[in-house]
Structure 1
């Protein structure tokens, strides 16, 4: 559990604050939990952290969620810049510290402007985006607020990403909202050593 003085890395603001579903002690894990943890360590994530801490309570679900996430993060037809930008949009929408502090630097590294990421962080719409980032922002924003996509937004997304890309972008937004909700409930904090400006801790 992180130092309680580091409130920027906490998820949730209930008092007294606690991480509700931390990594279980090895001696307390069931064989399926140990197997699921080892698969994460051996895979591209190289560890058990983030949403997989609470997901260890359901090892079969963890396995299925992990496979979906691996495809969306590492194999999707979408460019890494779009994937990371969309992940930040989802994390900001649900105010999730872990995903924000992990993916905001990755988005900048992939080519999203630091100004665009900072605008998202403070709740503003980024300005002057490349056309494909603007299309991704419109699609993700409409999904998160209206649960669908208007014809102009859909047409722009298909033009930039193709039908497969639209399916994967839509699924990516849903995936990261889902795992963020799980961490919001579990009060899963940001990784130890995460740097950058966090988001307001919400919900309780």
Structure 2
């Protein structure tokens, strides 16, 4: 039987001095974009040695895909139409569902700053369904939880959330769930804990 350690990173250090030109261009787009100036919650974007934290380091392994992925993430975070509180609550639902400590550490302070009720944050942390927030927050979170637990919404559930956040909001929630699920899986696979980065 093979053993695995969750404490050992599975990537070589991707510091700026070892990056090729394509990787360095992507590094510069990530650090020079909105993530480089906007708050990142409880985790720095760049560690003391210059490595990108969390999910961004692995994106450098394949710059064409990494660039598309980071651009999707930037679009979801900075150009989506859901209220910030609804978006951040959805991300916390995904982080809790997948046990992604990194995503939780980044997005919990962002959720609280966006006005998510602290009781709802604790409910999500415990695996429950939030009920205290604004109707859009609750509808978005319920949609996310249904997608992760059942992979779908019943017709009456779909109608109920569509009335609150609209069809575009439902679409945005599915994109958030898909993107942050992907990041959570990559963080786990590559053992990307940020405690050594900042």
Q: Which category of TM-score, normalised to the shorter sequence, fits these structures?
A: 0.7 to 0.9
Partner residue of 1:56 out of 57, 60, 63: 60
Structure 1 residues 16 and 112 mapped into 2: Cα distance closer, same or farther (>3 Å)? Answer: closer
Task: Considering Cα pairs closer than 8 Å and 6+ residues apart, tell me whether 1 or 2 has the greater RCO.
Answer: 1
CA contact (8 A) 1:92 1:120 kept: yes
Deviations 1:83-132 (CA, angstroms, capped at 9, x unpaired): 00000001111111111011011111111111111121122333434332
Structure 1 equivalent of residue 5 of structure 2: 15
Range 29-38 or range 13-22, more displaced: 13-22
Structure 2 equivalent of residue 198 of structure 1: none
Structure-2-length-normalised TM-score: 0.84
d(CA) in 1 for partners of 2:84, 2:115: 9
Partner residue of 2:21 out of 20, 23, 31: 31
The alignment status of 1:139 with 2:143, answered yes or no, reads: yes
SS in 2 for 1:18: coil
d(CA) in 2 for partners of 1:121, 1:63: 30
Partner residue of 1:113 out of 117, 120, 130: 117
The alignment status of 1:189 with 2:193, answered yes or no, reads: yes
5 Å-filtered alignment, 1:16-165, equals 17-21=7-11, 23-46=13-36, 47=45, 48-165=52-169
d(CA) in 2 for partners of 1:109, 1:147: 30
| Structure 2 residue runs without a partner (length 5+) | 37-44, 46-51
Deviations 1:7-56 (CA, angstroms, capped at 9, x unpaired): xxxxxx94372122254133322111111101111111114322111111
Shift of 1:62: 1.0
Range 101-110 or range 21-30, more displaced: 21-30
CA contact (8 A) 1:22 1:188 kept: no
Aligned length in residues: 182
Partner residue of 2:174 out of 170, 175, 191: 170
CA contact (8 A) 1:69 1:175 kept: yes
d(CA) in 2 for partners of 1:42, 1:15: 33
| Structure 1 residue runs without a partner (length 5+) | 1-12, 195-204
